[in-house]
Amino acid sequence: MLDPGWFAGRAAIVSGSASGIGRGIARALRELGSRVVALDRNPTDEPGLAAALIADVRSSKAVDAAVRDAAARVGRFAMVVNCAGVALARSAWETTEAEWDEVLDTNLKGTWLVTRAAWPHLEEDASIVNVSSNAGLVGFPELAAYCAAKGGLVQLTRAMALDSTSRRVRVNCICPGHIRTPMGDSFIAAQPDPAAFARQHAAAHPIGRLGTVEDIVQAALYLLSPASAFVTGSVLVADGGYTAR
């Protein structure tokens, strides 16, 4: 059973926390009493954080410095959440090398860099949650680099889980469907008929709607807490049934 009191006083670092899912998770943890360090390449105005650090997760130098700074402020982390990500609406044949590198480096390499930097600063029995996507499980047109990055993140989660057992650190990932975030809304806005696309896309989710940030926040809290103490290397699909079709 999820115990909200477990989060109080424990330290967390959340990447991609200036907006969207990352911001929602950082806010929920803060409201539960956790000492939250927000990490993003953009500033965040979320109140009540233990620290809000600016770093580009594509850079090992920037990530290592930011995580050291975070650990100096809050001590050992009980929770690491990797949410930093970018999307690109482009086919495999139209994607440039620079675009490919940005998507893969942000979504996949960035998760590895943040987690690697945090590893020496983790508590025993810490929990790591990576935010992937149902695009990491099935293919989507015009999302080649994004699908590749998110699919790699699913496999990286499994490998990191096996590499973490010596310290009883758990590593899991969430694969959301389409979530109403600034990034998700910008994808809809880029379609030729955004309103029609939004209706059709919502209908493609058997549950009958697009997801909300709160849907993914609740999944993350479960995986971060001892309620999931026997869960590691797992993929929690929160996509309204999209991939069950």
> Residue 171, Cβ neighbours under 10 Å: how many?
27
Question: What's the CA gap between 25 and 131, in Å, rounded?
Answer: 11
Identity (one letter) of the amino acid at 138?
V
Q: Residues of 43-72 as b/e, b for ≥16 C-beta within 10 angstroms? A: ebebeebbbbbebbbbbeebbeebbeebbe
Tell me which of 146, 176, 184, 205 is the catalytic residue. 146
The answer to whether 222 touches 174, Cβ cutoff 8 Å, is no
> Residue 35, Cβ neighbours under 10 Å: how many?
23
Computed from CA positions of residues 155, 160, 166, 170, in that sequence, does the dihedral angle turn out positive or negative? negative
Question: What's the CA gap between 245 and 243, in Å, rounded?
Answer: 5
Asked about 146 being catalytic, the answer comes back as yes
* Enzyme catalytic residues: 146
